[in-house]
Amino acid sequence: MKDDSVTTRQRLMVFQQNGSGEQKIAGLRQYGGELFQLEVFNINELLPPVLDNTSAYLPEDISCELVLDFLRHNDLSTDLAVLCAKKGIPVVASGKKITCTGLFTPPT
């Protein structure tokens, strides 16, 4: 018999750069702590204006149900969106001007 009172927590991966998503992460933990399993991926390095290869900064593989993008560097966000599109993982990247399958960019 299945216990319907136990809910499965949605697996979220949050990408942030130099603390850019800390307030949102705190809100998710405070108000959705029982609903979400969060994995936070931090990039805390000073980066050049253009990154030809982002593989040194992004993981090779992503395993989750939803990605939240709070990265500030456009090259990182673009490559993250492409990586997630290949895996069929939706990405929410508020205010970004990137187009990619499975990427949602609501206005801020």
Please write the tens of the pLDDT for every residue from 75-102. 999 999 999 999 999 999 988 887 777 7
Residue 47 within any structural domain of the chain: yes
Residue 5 lies in a domain: no
Has residue 2 been placed in a domain?
A: no
Q: Is residue 4 part of a domain?
A: no
Secondary structure (H, E, C), the chain: CCCCCCCCCEEEEEEEECCCCHHHHHHHHHHHCCCEEEEEEEECCCCCCCCCCCCCCCCCCCCCCEEEEECCCHHHHHHHHHHHHHHCCCEECCCCCCCCCCEECCCC
> Can you give the CATH number for the domain in which 57 is found?
3.40.50.2300
Average pLDDT, the chain: 89
**What's the Rg (C-alpha) of the chain?**
15
In the chain, how many domains are there?
1
Domain span at 64: 10-104
Q: What is the pLDDT of residue 2?
A: 54
- CA separation (Å) from 34 to 12, 30, 89? 12, 9, 21
Q: Is residue 70 part of a domain?
A: yes
Say yes or no to pLDDT of 4 above 70: no
Whole-number pLDDT of residue 94: 86
Could you give the strand order of the β-sheet that contains 66-70, starting from the edge strand earlier in sequence? 36-43, 10-17, 66-70, 91-92, 103-104
13 pLDDT more than 90: yes
Q: For residue 1, name the pLDDT band (cuts at 50, 70, 90).
A: very low
Whether residue 1 is contained in a domain is answered as no
The answer to whether position 3 is within a domain reads no
pLDDT band at 43 (very low <50, low <70, confident <90, very high): very high
53-81 pLDDT, tens digit each: 999 999 999 999 999 999 999 999 999 99
